[in-house]
Structure 1
């Protein structure tokens, strides 16, 4: 039996293992009971796909949206696009569209009003009076009448690029929404809306209409459904991949079944905990099962490897288990701790789904560690023959072992003979990749998370190609009460701002109450275009607004606050890059300052505003989580290794894969998004696992041998194989994300592959080279 008394806590873990083996049936029954309990909690899990989940409570974006919702209802909307190639614009179809608009207004919860060309307000003067009527006062009866109306619509300033495309081949139907109810009443109001729209469109009478459906509720729900389907498929695939790899590395059927049972139970326990505590899942945490399988499998692999090594020492099975647990128990506990720390670093990110994801995965890692130290001894305690007996073809065992040993021998030879060159090489790579990191951009536009060719992405692109009105940017301007609304100077400034917005090449449509005033003035002057302007007196402005409402105009409540203290400028745009969105926001804010002066109070809301804000907190979160994970894990390493120099030295191989991966991102032109942005802390938290096994084992061997090269050789050939195996499991296991339909998860699989490959090279080459150069444990003994 190996002497493991010099390993901290070895006695505790050995004693714990003996206790587990003694009471193995009780342990199995307890694990089974807990598993059944958590399975019963799975039906309590709820999904929250609302747009505000990305921000922590109290964030200014949520305050801005709350104010907008309180005054104007909701800055989200549902959207239907009718195209002449799929739905010919005939009298029959116009009649159906009118029926559909009424059905949607009556049958879709939270709808405030349905706007389309048929019921759009048309302001015209007739015989000295103003008429405000629906554009189609009655359904057209002939095709000629339809064609004439479509042509007339382009002459209406509020219709073009809003309700009808300039080429008359597309019409829109927009569902303005009321404020969503509290989550206690409806956790997923977006889903409620989408389901109601789908049910109405599925009615047989509307079958001839083939609209494209868009808007934030539809996109968010369909995207979440796609992610959940993807993750369900990938979860099964990762199980199969891990099973195949474990069979390849094979130490018998138990070496395959045990890690998979442990990781699968850890997933179910974690999901059950989420349901039990009333927490929610979202589109980001949908990847939780797949990620947990990959990051929590290493402990059982290392313990099985140690047991396999001990079984060759001529001890009984129970003695083997106790010795193996004593040998690697501390390292397993530390790797679980550092992995949990890596994910808990998400708590420094001001993005709510990341904070939740960090807690969920950390919880799963702890569960996996507890299951490993209980179930592995239990499963391996059965049987009379030592584990080293025939488990598979000896030829295959010898071939695999020889292959791994040759890799380790070559690594040892390189490091021992050229430690300085190896270290310089790794440092140069870090410097080079730092310049790549400087080129990395963050993109928070969720539309870019989908591959082109995905139906959801194609729908979004088609809506933008035809109309360019997929997202809004909303400005709420302080009007200083009713007097401000009537002030012609204020109204002229508002009109200048509206026209400046519409003149911006990034903007499709801009609208404000100033258009109503100009249309009313023109209508009251016999529709003379020369009078399409803001009057010069407050009395005239007040008169036009009064006549508008008394004539049946219904748009004021969507453009002016109830107390006339706020006016709204609504800007509609296509989805574009965050950089372009930021450019538009900054240009509009500059226009507000130049036109109204710096004293104007402005609140910015709308979907575009939120994804700009999200971009900023994602970038800050990536930096904060990386720093937090590095500091916390560094402290743990220095504490465990009981040497500041040795602990600091151990962090360099773990920072290396982060540099390489970030540099890879910048050099190949990929961007960080809401899925990949905080992976740096995860890489450190997971990559450090193998470093802990390497450094703790090296310290043990150096204490025993007193020579750096001999200690390195002993370390290579004791923990080298499981380090390679767990790295392969991480790289290939996460590679299943490359089969995702979601571009963000595809990139995550690619980045994890690069990162964990770089981490393996750093553990086998960079770390040993640094140890030989700096002698962090002091002088060698004779």
Structure 2
């Protein structure tokens, strides 16, 4: 349900973004923006100096270094990804129930007191099933439950075990054998025990399956809840001591015996296995779907696959680090991988949009990457900071999965920003960038070095306004002294971003 509700919320936010936000900005515009518009309207010749934010200045410097040394940066990012990708294989998905709560919470304090004064509290159940057509007597079935109970108690993590045989008199060491003649004492014991069947049933250690008629003998064990017990390894140890007993009875002619392992410990072990499988499957599905969309947007298979590398960057870095450091992956951590992949692709598309816009303007790939920095690096940094701090609120929760979701998402978002504003530009300005400018007019006259903001397309309209506001005295005159009026349908050529003269275009279609 998490994925469904998250997708619905994102679509609802998109509707608000396109319908409600423009109306609000129209009714209540920014005061600073309104003053700039008023100033430009009152005095068209007035050119205001644009004040750059701290993010803009920082990314201008970083972007220049990334573009100049794109090969080293890309190789370094790939090397870091490979190093941490190796650590992913050692990810340990685990659900330690008592570790779902922060240290010092009331439930942990109570469990610690109870286990210290009474004994282990985590239940582990083994159900011995005996078919209704089995050739075993009631006393022999109870001996089977007793043998299983004794075998379980030999395991080190087990603090104790209990079954119906615990409440029965001494059953002796007699074992089941086909064809063996039961003495009078054995028949009397079996009959006496069966008379108290209802008492054993009330205790919850003996039941009859109403559908199959099987007799279910419950053997209950207890392990420590606050220990670092590996539930998967413990279940295997349990099987290793119980199965030989079942095989012994079957080898001596007993029929209709089976064993079921249940209780909280196997349940947690199963959830642990599903957690790892769900982590891998959800991440794989998210990668495939997002890669397919990127191929459609970029109209290139190669460009789509290359653009996915920065999106995988944060996931491999964070989860690889968790694998190297031996940090357990719980249910809260598991959800962050797909969420981070979806958030990272948003910034990737944002940057690629302005990069492709720069290519369409005639810039080279290096100049287009710098223009993309100027256009969206500040916005991407601000949204990462806002979104990360918003999700960091979950880190204050006392429920550990929610707590981990908060601070891991914060870390993933900042790692995604590094991937989109350092790794991605290095790829775009390197050899792989040629897959993104196919079919576009290559820029000329560019030395490949990032320049100041005068090269940004947002400053060209200001230059156009200055040219168009030339006074009459500045215009050439005819022989009779009358000034030559500029033609409105054929404006004078303007310099292009590459220093060439732009081809005049008619304002009115002939």
Give the alignment partner of residue 102 of structure 2, picking from 436, 448, 451. Answer: 451
1:710 equivalent in structure 2: 367
Match status 1:561 vs 2:211: no
Give the alignment partner of residue 572 of structure 1, picking from 222, 233, 254. Answer: 222
Give the alignment partner of residue 496 of structure 1, picking from 147, 167, 173. Answer: 147
Question: For residues 228 and 361 of structure 2, what CA distance do their matches in structure 1 show?
Answer: 57
Give the alignment partner of residue 405 of structure 1, picking from 56, 61, 65. Answer: 56
Question: For residues 500 and 437 of structure 1, what CA distance do their matches in structure 2 show?
Answer: 38
Shift of residue 768, structure 1, vs aligned partner? 0.7
- Give CA deviations for 1:307-345 in whole Å, capped at 9, x if unaligned: xxxxxxxxxxxxxxxxxxxxxxxxxxxxxxxxxxxxxxx
Which structure has the greater CA radius of gyration?
2
- Give CA deviations for 1:251-275 in whole Å, capped at 9, x if unaligned: xxxxxxxxxxxxxxxxxxxxxxxxx
Question: For residues 281 and 228 of structure 2, what CA distance do their matches in structure 1 show?
Answer: 21
Question: For residues 427 and 183 of structure 2, what CA distance do their matches in structure 1 show?
Answer: 79
Match status 1:512 vs 2:163: yes
2:290 equivalent in structure 1: 633
- Whether the 8 Å contact between 2:246 and 2:258 is mirrored in structure 1 is no
Three-state SS of the structure 2 residue aligned to 1:555 is: helix
Shift of residue 678, structure 1, vs aligned partner? 2.8
User: Higher mean Cα deviation, 662-671 or 376-385?
Assistant: 376-385
User: Higher mean Cα deviation, 633-642 or 705-714?
Assistant: 705-714
Question: For residues 687 and 577 of structure 1, what CA distance do their matches in structure 2 show?
Answer: 38
Note closer, same or farther for the CA distance 1:552–1:646 as it changes in structure 2 (3 Å cut): closer
- Give CA deviations for 1:695-745 in whole Å, capped at 9, x if unaligned: 122112212224101211111111111111111112222222222212222
Note closer, same or farther for the CA distance 1:501–1:383 as it changes in structure 2 (3 Å cut): closer
Question: For residues 764 and 665 of structure 1, what CA distance do their matches in structure 2 show?
Answer: 24
- Give CA deviations for 1:141-185 in whole Å, capped at 9, x if unaligned: xxxxxxxxxxxxxxxxxxxxxxxxxxxxxxxxxxxxxxxxxxxxx
1:757 equivalent in structure 2: 414
1:777 equivalent in structure 2: 436
1:162 equivalent in structure 2: none
- Give CA deviations for 1:168-226 in whole Å, capped at 9, x if unaligned: xxxxxxxxxxxxxxxxxxxxxxxxxxxxxxxxxxxxxxxxxxxxxxxxxxxxxxxxxxx
Matches within 5 A, 1:127-142: none
Which consecutive unaligned segments of at least 5 residues does structure 2 have? 37-48, 177-181, 251-256, 445-510
Question: For residues 200 and 124 of structure 2, what CA distance do their matches in structure 1 show?
Answer: 18
Count how many residue pairs are aligned between Structure 1 and Structure 2.
410
Question: For residues 725 and 474 of structure 1, what CA distance do their matches in structure 2 show?
Answer: 53
- Whether the 8 Å contact between 2:369 and 2:428 is mirrored in structure 1 is no
- Give CA deviations for 1:359-380 in whole Å, capped at 9, x if unaligned: 1111111111111111101111
1:468 equivalent in structure 2: 119
Match status 1:360 vs 2:17: no
- Whether the 8 Å contact between 1:444 and 1:578 is mirrored in structure 2 is no
Give the alignment partner of residue 317 of structure 2, picking from 622, 643, 660. Answer: 660
Instruction: Name the TM-score, length of structure 2 as normaliser.
Output: 0.74
Question: For residues 187 and 134 of structure 2, what CA distance do their matches in structure 1 show?
Answer: 9
Three-state SS of the structure 2 residue aligned to 1:474 is: strand
Note closer, same or farther for the CA distance 1:734–1:561 as it changes in structure 2 (3 Å cut): same
Give the alignment partner of residue 262 of structure 2, picking from 600, 605, 624. Answer: 605
- Give CA deviations for 1:734-763 in whole Å, capped at 9, x if unaligned: 222222212222222221122111111111
Give the alignment partner of residue 419 of structure 1, picking from 70, 73, 90. Answer: 70
Note closer, same or farther for the CA distance 1:756–1:542 as it changes in structure 2 (3 Å cut): farther
Note closer, same or farther for the CA distance 1:387–1:484 as it changes in structure 2 (3 Å cut): farther
Note closer, same or farther for the CA distance 1:540–1:637 as it changes in structure 2 (3 Å cut): farther
- Give CA deviations for 1:441-498 in whole Å, capped at 9, x if unaligned: 1111221111221112211222222333422121222212275552666544432221
Shift of residue 604, structure 1, vs aligned partner? 2.0
- Whether the 8 Å contact between 2:66 and 2:422 is mirrored in structure 1 is yes
Three-state SS of the structure 2 residue aligned to 1:505 is: coil
Match status 1:376 vs 2:21: yes
- Whether the 8 Å contact between 2:139 and 2:189 is mirrored in structure 1 is no
Question: For residues 196 and 215 of structure 2, what CA distance do their matches in structure 1 show?
Answer: 23
Question: For residues 267 and 26 of structure 2, what CA distance do their matches in structure 1 show?
Answer: 56
1:51 equivalent in structure 2: none
Shift of residue 781, structure 1, vs aligned partner? 4.0
Which consecutive unaligned segments of at least 5 residues does structure 1 have? 1-355, 392-397, 522-531
Question: For residues 687 and 513 of structure 1, what CA distance do their matches in structure 2 show?
Answer: 58
